[in-house]
Amino acid sequence: MTDAPILGPINHISDLSTASDFEKKHTPHIGISASGDVTTVTVTVGWGVPHPNQPDHSITWITIYAGEAPIARFDLAAVASTPTVSVVVDLESGTLVRAIAHCNMHGLWTAEVTL
């Protein structure tokens, strides 16, 4: 895949083990950690392959959903921020957690995990 703008509403890579570096640097990685009653959702864009963080090419926002409901949105400034965000949640086991990230050059990218 080339570094050309992606056409389509939301890009989703089902198997990161076979994804290209281009796909890996755009796909959100969702990490879940639990300690007692506290569950933390951490989303990193550029897991293993860093995403550029320049004014002309950066991740501008990340939104985290529980099912279809948005639970957190983070707006990121180019150069001054890194596309890694965390939020503490109170969700039931079995809840689908989805992240959508926006690259100002290559559009929307999503990933999901089940708690």
* Separation CA 96–CA 56 (nearest Å): 33
Indicate whether 113 pLDDT > 50: yes
State pLDDT tens for residues 67-101.
999 999 999 998 878 899 999 998 888 999 999 99
| Alpha helix segments (H runs only) across 27-109 | none
CB–CB of 91/106 below 8 Å?
no
More confident site: 43 or 8: 43
State pLDDT tens for residues 36-73.
888 999 999 988 888 888 899 999 999 999 999 999 99
Indicate whether 6 pLDDT > 60: no
- Looking at the chain, the whole-number percentage of residues with pLDDT higher than 70 is 93
Amino acid 80: pLDDT: 78
The CATH classification number of 11-114 equals 2.60.40.730
What are the domain boundaries of the chain?
A: 11-114
Beta strand 28-35 pairing with 84-89: unpaired
Structure tokens at 78: 């180019």
Quick one: CA dihedral 103, 3, 7, 50, positive or negative? negative
* Separation CA 67–CA 44 (nearest Å): 19
